[in-house]
Chain A
Amino acid sequence: NAGVTQTPKFRVLKTGQSMTLLCAQDMNHEYMYWYRQDPGMGLRLIHYSVGEGTTAKGEVPDGYNVSRLKKQNFLLGLESAAPSQTSVYFCASSYLTRAYEQYFGPGTRLTVT
């Protein structure tokens, strides 16, 4: 039981490049989330999904896209990276009836130069 895993752990991009972050969970959770963590700002919700094939915007969705083609995977895409997207990205998942109890992955540290 691996819990929530994230790929990659580190990445450096140049402005304008694109990339996809992968989140996978093996707990059969319905809900999945993408957050970004910036110093002094806590975690802010980017996008989330309440089930396979469904996604919704969070607090800071601009510049990101997501997809949930399979229940266990939640992808976060950056089409044209900007320095403002330098951050640590966390994926989390939870059961539908216990959305407050979220299980977090180890994070992806992204630097955009």
Chain B
Amino acid sequence: AQSVTQLDSQVPVFEEAPVELRCNYSSSVSVYLFWYVQYPNQGLQLLLKYLSGSTLVESINGFEAEFNKSQTSFHLRKPSVHISDTAEYFCAVIMDTGRRALTFGSGTRLQVQP
């Protein structure tokens, strides 16, 4: 079975400061890794994904995440956050075989303050 751990339930940060949201996973088989974002009162949207190839992946709005196989981590980073980045962020994994369903972490609420 696979599982996802997001260590921080809330991360307050000032605008234009850097941020890192942590994600660790466990799985006995190879997995694909994802970050989803949920803005207030909305459904989830895919932010970025790691399937294969380069371990550093980027989103269109400045976020990046790095797959670290030895540490089983997929932390999300942004060098300078904006007020509009305030949202809840979910790390998720899916196995490359078997049931094609996502397993989500418990979420991290990013609160960007002016």
A residues lining the B interface (CB < 8 Å): 4, 31, 33, 35, 40-45, 48, 50, 56, 58, 90, 92, 96, 99-102, 104-107
Contacts and interface: CB of A to CB of B under 8 A. Distances in A.
Contacts of A58: 101
Contacts of B34: 100
A100 B102 contact: yes
A72 to B, nearest CB: 17
A42 B90 contact: yes
Given A104-B43, A106-B42, 20 more contacts: A31-B100, A40-B107, A41-B106, A42-B90, A42-B105, A43-B104, A44-B104, A45-B101, A45-B102, A45-B103, A56-B99, A90-B44, A92-B43, A96-B100, A100-B94, A100-B100, A102-B44, A102-B102, A105-B43, A106-B43
Contacts of B99: 56
B55 interface: no
Contacts, number: 57
B46 A4 contact: no
A43 B43 contact: no
Given A90-B43, A106-B42, A99 B94 contact: yes
Contacts of A50: 100
The 8 A-B residue pairs with the shortest CB-CB distance, nearest first, are A104-B43, A99-B100, A42-B104, A42-B106, A43-B104, A104-B44, A100-B94, A42-B107
B94 A40 contact: no
Among B4, B99, B100, find the residue whose CB has the most chain A CB atoms closer than 10 A.
B100
18 contacts: A40-B106, A40-B107, A42-B106, A43-B104, A45-B103, A50-B100, A92-B43, A92-B44, A99-B94, A100-B34, A100-B94, A101-B46, A101-B49, A102-B46, A104-B44, A106-B43, A107-B42, A107-B43
A24 B105 CA distance: 26
A94 to B, nearest CB: 8
A92 to B, nearest CB: 8
**Max chain B C-beta neighbours (<10 A), residue from A42, A44, A104:** A42
B72 interface: no
